Amino acid sequence: MVVSPLITAKGVSYTYPDGSVGVREIDLEIFPKERVGIIGPNGSGKSTLIFLLSALLKPTKGEVRVFGLIPDKKNVENIRRRIGVVFQNPDDFLFNPTVKDELLYVPRQLEMNEEEMRKLLQEYSKTFKLEEILQKPPFRLSGGEKKKVEIASVLIYSPEVIFLDEPTANVDGKTRKIVVEMMKNYNGTVVITSHELGIIEELCKRVILMSKGKIVLDTTINDLNEQILEEIGVF
Amino acid sequence: MVVSPLITAKGVSYTYPDGSVGVREIDLEIFPKERVGIIGPNGSGKSTLIFLLSALLKPTKGEVRVFGLIPDKKNVENIRRRIGVVFQNPDDFLFNPTVKDELLYVPRQLEMNEEEMRKLLQEYSKTFKLEEILQKPPFRLSGGEKKKVEIASVLIYSPEVIFLDEPTANVDGKTRKIVVEMMKNYNGTVVITSHELGIIEELCKRVILMSKGKIVLDTTINDLNEQILEEIGVF
Amino acid sequence: MHVVLEKTLKNASSYFQNFLIHEYGVRGTLHAIDARVKLLSSFSFVILAVSTFDLEKLLFLLISLLAVSTVLGVNLKSLFKRVWLFTVFSFIVVSPFLLQNPEYPFLFTLRVLITLISLQLLVMTTSFAEICFAMRSFKIPQLFVHALWLAYRYILVVFQDIVSILLARESRRVAKGSHRDLWKKGGEAIGLFFLRSIERAERIQLAMASRGEKIFEMRAKVGMLEIIYITLSAFIILWWLAL
Amino acid sequence: MHIPDGYLDLSIAGIFFILSFIVLGYSLYRLRSEKLTSLFGVLSAAIFAAQMLNWPIPGGTSAHFVGGSLAGILLGPYAGALAMAIVLTIQTLVFNDGGITAWGANVWNMAIVNVFLGYYLYQFLSKFNRNLGAFIAGWLGITVAAIFAGFEIGLSTSFAYGLSITIPVMGLWHAILGVIEGIITAGVVAYLATRRADLLEKKEVGRASFALIAVLIALSPIFAYFAEIVGYSEPLENAAEMLELEESPIYEGLLPDYTIPGLDPYIGTLISGAIGVMIVLMLAYAVRYARSSRKDT
Ligand SMILES: Nc1ncnc2c1ncn2[C@@H]1O[C@H](COP(=O)(O)OP(=O)(O)OP(=O)(O)O)[C@@H](O)[C@H]1O
Ligand SMILES: Nc1ncnc2c1ncn2[C@@H]1O[C@H](COP(=O)(O)OP(=O)(O)OP(=O)(O)O)[C@@H](O)[C@H]1O
Ligand SMILES: [Mg+2]
Ligand SMILES: [Mg+2]
């Protein structure tokens, strides 16, 4: 049986409105249940790639297919439902009046019943130790608390594909462990970028190396060695 | 000879306007040329403490002395000039129209001469690999690039005391190495918070552990063991 | 409806954001000229344009300014992008006169177009910091210039925030939602955004405090370049008067 | 509501420059020892953003959210006037929205009339009902400001519409759209009252100076009227005529046969225009040359 890819990028480039090149000529296939790590130096295009693969940005050249579809007005909500994106910067992500609203933002849209929502809320706020800040507006949290809320409000609706952009930046060791644990038990596709190689090693078999907007290597974690990393400038 | 402390906090508490407790009853002395690491779980008050010690926030209770002075309207500018603070969130820190303006913001105020500024700019943009983005507005950079710019624009004016709030979040391995290197050779006082214990181990002899707004342990790096960390919830 | 509204808002914000930061990378000759000289000459050209309804004078001015733009490194295409909107706008406003006095709407619009181009010769080639500096050296009060600079920076921050928040909303919009929500939730969202911006600004204020709040003074540059540009502007004025 | 360049006669533009300088200058004086707050910055930015959406009105200028009353209520009239003036300045300099010659008039309408009126209405009415006070301040503030704008362009001969059109057009449109302005103003005030009441504290204003500014506002149309009568609508052209520059020796020296014999004057003008452009081009190349020989960063 041939498994068809979940997400495909063909000749994808993205140039920001001011002319900066985000990524160029990306060819990539991501298969169901894969765990993919994306690494590369600052500004190499990792976050841009995530926005493209999750259909949040439209490529300026080339084509992205998600679940076999080219995202357009009609199918986009459906695609969104099945994808979760944890942004690199939680300040760009949190916009609800309280942490509670933040967590329930998607469940409410899906019109889950009250009981179910209450349960989810309890479960996730307990796991991520958010009980005491549930009523606070997210912009009044500490850096790591924001990131925690962000991660929790994506995981809470169990999307099929999860993109995690620097999930461990600013979060404490305990939360990091919880995220790793949850991702290990998670039943969907996961794409992670991180500058902390540890989490990539723990979670991903496949690793993609980026440099200057291009994919320079697409390999397995075991084939990755210090020399390559140093050459590309990750170290 | 008795060395007098550079910064002292006596019974310092800070409550945010909405009633959230930032830190409570902090007693602390920091001595010249010390390297202090502050660790603790998310929301334990590390960033708040840094704002208090650098005279950016006024304690709601207790007293902070910096260079022996209680910061007030008259002396505060002088105090701040001798202190550099790298904020946890670079978006809260960068406000100039271009990266170049950002780097030269303080040097220009100190009225350095053109030649000197040109040299500094060249040196720091080379070290941090910022040459290609010097003309870009900072808010159009990638997450790690922002942090790099932030760190560079504080180090560029060599303040006597440097506070680094999560300097390694979002930055690549290479930059991390550079920061560690620079801090090792640095001749002043350094206070660092980080969830990545590696950098604290490499740089700091003294470590302060925080939990729920309080200092629960003030010890040396060698006396720190996993058990204590786990108890407090860092791991 | 609300989706369309959000989309429009997002497009508008990114459009205006681009307006706010000019192409710092591209540097033509005009970029190098002292901001004060450019400010004065642009102002004079505007005065010339609004002081006449003479077709010859207006055409002379228009062609001269376009020539100056081309030679001194202002991209005509981006110039056009920045001036067409208000030109069309003005034409619409006076279009009812087309039947009664067909010349007037065109002349009127031409005047407006020239004033827009004149100002763009300054705006497209000068950073906002330089403009502030020029104002300071014309003795405009410190407080005013400082406030101008402050507001400009916050405008950049606010626009960036609007764009990223709208993207975040999009990333978690999994259902179309109802129109009813627009008024109820829309107001709340705007209020919250405002509050959040204020508190963010309070933190940026801290960053400024930690690095000193003195608005920097730039150094003036007056040399051959400036003198020739002044001559050029003076010539345009004289010829306009004589024509 | 922004008046672009080219809509106002210079005499009228001039008188409003003077009036705005006086009031704005006084506001700056009152604010001299205060620090600009982050609310000041963010409110300016928000008003700037909200003014983005505007559309043209035939017979007038344009309609959009102005925010003058809101600025007055939240910042007090002096800082509010400064905030609005700054928004207008940035719009002029960055977007060309609102002319540079019309800056004085625009500041007068939106940063002074609207702000002071809105502030005063709110202070007076909020004693009875805060939200209603904010609504009326927002609505009446923008409407009166628009009437002032209508008066200024209507009085100007460059703008071919007369007062009988411009005032009703601007006034009526804004009286209708002003309802939205009123709702937004009241909404923001109500919202802040529940979340950050500290931002709504009453701002003190001196009574005497306030009365003086009110008088200035009330009299400004009369000043403008006299300026229009006295002033030349085309002062530069008149200056040229007065100096008899058209026959001046400098000019003859440059181009002795202005009306080249045998050619009709129209072509003559055309030729001299073309020659002017040629010289401009040469000078422009000279500037470029000077640039290439100067080395700086
Ligand atoms: N909003 C933007 N406007 C213009 N250019 C941008 C913008 N965001 C990013 N860029 C540029 O695009 C390139 C790729 O950025 P991206 O954020 O994808 O990098 P990244 O690999 O995620 O880096 P990091 O490790 O720092 O997060 C960089 O050169 C950056 O300067
Ligand atoms: N602006 C704010 N308004 C209200 N409460 C705040 C604000 N900023 C932080 N807090 C609260 O103050 C406490 C301490 O926050 P602080 O940012 O100092 O934590 P931290 O130790 O730096 O955490 P992290 O590791 O996540 O950066 C937290 O409970 C947080 O929710
Ligand atoms: Mg990134
Ligand atoms: Mg922190």
D157-192 pLDDT, tens digit each = 888 888 888 999 899 989 998 998 999 899 889 888
Cα C123 vs. chain centroid, distance in angstroms? Answer: 6
User: Three-class SS string for B99-136?
Assistant: HHHHHHHHHHHCCCCHHHHHHHHHHHHHHCCCHHHCCC
Angle between helix axes D10-30 and C142-171 (nearest 10 degrees) is: 90
User: Predicted confidence band at D295 (pLDDT cuts at 50, 70, 90)?
Assistant: low
Rounded Cα gap, residues B28 and B208, in angstroms: 10
The structure's pTM equals: 0.85
pLDDT one-digit tens code per residue, D116-161: 999 999 999 988 999 999 999 999 999 999 999 999 999 988 888 8
Q: Is the pLDDT higher at B165 or at C215?
A: B165
Q: Is the pLDDT higher at B1 or at A228?
A: A228
Residue A17: CB atoms within 10 A of its CB come to 11
**Mutation for A interface: C167, C172, C190, most A CBs within 10 A:** C172
Rounded Cα gap, residues A4 and B191, in angstroms: 52
| Nearest by CB: C207 against B92, B114, B140 | B92
Residues pairing with B210 in the sheet:
B215
Mean pLDDT confidence for C221-241: 88
Q: What is the mean pLDDT of chain A?
A: 91
C171 and A139 within 8 Å at the Cβ level: the answer is no
Structure tokens at D125: 């009415």
A197-226 residues touching B, CB cutoff 8 A? 197
Q: What is the pLDDT of residue C163?
A: 83
| Cα–Cα distance list, C54 to C48, C51, C57, C114 (Å) | 11, 9, 5, 13
pLDDT one-digit tens code per residue, A115-159: 999 999 999 999 999 999 999 999 999 999 999 999 999 999 999
Query: Model ipTM?
Result: 0.83
Q: What is the pLDDT of residue D233?
A: 45
C184: amino acid identity, one letter: K
User: Three-class SS string for B145-190?
Assistant: HHHHHHHHHHHCCCCCEEEEECCCCCCCHHHHHHHHHHHHCCCCEE
Structure tokens at C137: 């050296």
Structure tokens at C158: 């606010």
Q: D21-57: buried (b, 16+ CB within 10 Å) or exposed (e) per residue?
A: eebbebbbebbeeeebbbbbbbbbbbbbbbbbebebb
| Subunits adjacent to chain A (3 or more Cβ pairs under 8 Å) | B, C
Q: What is the pLDDT of residue D294?
A: 67
Residue D29 contacts residue D82 (beta carbons within 8 Å): no
Q: D264-283: buried (b, 16+ CB within 10 Å) or exposed (e) per residue?
A: eeeebbebbbeebbebbbeb
A140 and C170 within 8 Å at the Cβ level: the answer is no
Q: What is the pLDDT of residue D32?
A: 87
Mean pLDDT confidence for A85-97: 92
Q: How far is A83 from chain B (nearest CA, A)?
A: 22
Structure tokens at A18: 């001011």
Q: What is the pLDDT of residue B4?
A: 87
Rounded Cα gap, residues B207 and B216, in angstroms: 11
Estimate the share of chain C in helix, then strand, then coil, as percent rounded to the nearest 5: 80, 0, 20
Q: How far is the CA of D150 from the centre of ligand 3 (A)?
A: 51
Rounded Cα gap, residues B47 and C217, in angstroms: 33
Rounded Cα gap, residues D287 and D292, in angstroms: 9
Q: What is the pLDDT of residue D246?
A: 45
Mean pLDDT confidence for A30-59: 94
Specify the DSSP element, H or E, that contains B29. strand B21-30
Residues pairing with B218 in the sheet:
B208
Mean pLDDT confidence for C60-71: 93
Rounded Cα gap, residues B98 and D1, in angstroms: 33
pLDDT one-digit tens code per residue, B43-86: 999 999 999 999 999 999 999 999 999 998 888 888 888 999 99
Whether the pLDDT of residue D257 is over 60: the answer is no
Whether the pLDDT of residue D256 is over 60: the answer is no
Residue D216 contacts residue D23 (beta carbons within 8 Å): yes
B66: amino acid identity, one letter: V
C52: amino acid identity, one letter: T
Residue C212: CB atoms within 10 A of its CB come to 17
List the end-to-end C-alpha distance of chain C, in Å, as a whole number: 55
A142 and B47 within 8 Å at the Cβ level: the answer is yes
